[in-house]
Amino acid sequence: MFLGCSDSRVSEGTIFDALPGMMFAERNIANQYNENDRNTNAVMSYAVEGLGVQHIIVMGHQHCGGVKAAVDPFPPQPWDTADFAVQEWILPLRKLYAESDRPEIVEYRDKYPGGVNVPSPSDLRDAALRAMVEENVKKTVSKIASSQLIEERYSNSTKAAVFIHGLVYDLENGTITNLDVSVGPPGMRIPPVPFPHRKAPTKAFMVQSYGP
């Protein structure tokens, strides 16, 4: 199963040599997982229990507009329906940004307290935002691993193992970074990600933010 961002530049077919039918996919803004999200839970439940999926890939990507939106100030009031929907969705990312102790993020928070004068999306290469992309993937892997679905799966040794992997795709050079945060059943060796990665493009993608 592929859990990625809604950004069309980072679909499972773009990143992996995946033929139709190879991957069951779910995508949302900033590749998040929350246990109260019925849609993602339904997709993951069907993937694991219905399709027999054994690998869940959490795929973040650099230059993620959803991550950038979470470090920006809140939009001015009054909010319309769209503002409420987007801001509610990225609240877990804002919380991650506010609480992270990763040095790049701490330095960025101290530099722009309260989200004041945060750089525009053209500065998505900033080390802090790249770190946020990685920390968000790690958080999503952790949330999936501690979800009721996966905990029940891990407590039943008669069922096939399910492994969760955290990866980050770089739009500029087509490379994938394995964050080495894979999770599997207790005591079981973690196998490598089983999907072939497309060769890096000869020319980098145009880096443009499709932020919410």
Tens of pLDDT along 33-84? Answer: 999 999 999 999 999 999 999 999 999 999 999 999 998 888 899 999 999 9
Annotation-wise, does 61 bind a ligand? yes
Instruction: Determine, yes or no, domain membership for 185.
Output: no
Annotation-wise, does 165 bind a ligand? no
Is residue 124 within 8 A of residue 72, CB to CB? The reply is no
Please give the residue range of the domain that contains residue 144: 2-178
Q: Residue 138 is part of a domain; what is its CATH number?
A: 3.40.1050.10
Instruction: Determine, yes or no, domain membership for 193.
Output: no
Annotation-wise, does 80 bind a ligand? no
Instruction: Determine, yes or no, domain membership for 68.
Output: yes
Instruction: Determine, yes or no, domain membership for 89.
Output: yes
Q: In the prediction, which pLDDT does 198 show?
A: 64
Q: In the prediction, which pLDDT does 10 show?
A: 92
Instruction: Determine, yes or no, domain membership for 77.
Output: yes
Tell whether omega for the bond before 191 is within 30 degrees of 0, i.e. cis. no
Query: pLDDT tens for residues 91-117?
Result: 999 999 999 999 999 999 898 887 667
Q: In the prediction, which pLDDT does 115 show?
A: 67
Q: In the prediction, which pLDDT does 123 show?
A: 63
pLDDT band of 207, cuts 50, 70, 90: very low
Instruction: Determine, yes or no, domain membership for 189.
Output: no
Looking at the 3D structure of the chain, how many domains does it have? 1
Instruction: Determine, yes or no, domain membership for 205.
Output: no
* Strand residue runs (E) in the chain: 2-5, 25-28, 55-61, 163-169, 176-178
Annotation-wise, does 55 bind a ligand? no
Query: pLDDT tens for residues 134-171?
Result: 999 999 999 999 999 999 999 998 989 999 999 999 98
Instruction: Determine, yes or no, domain membership for 60.
Output: yes
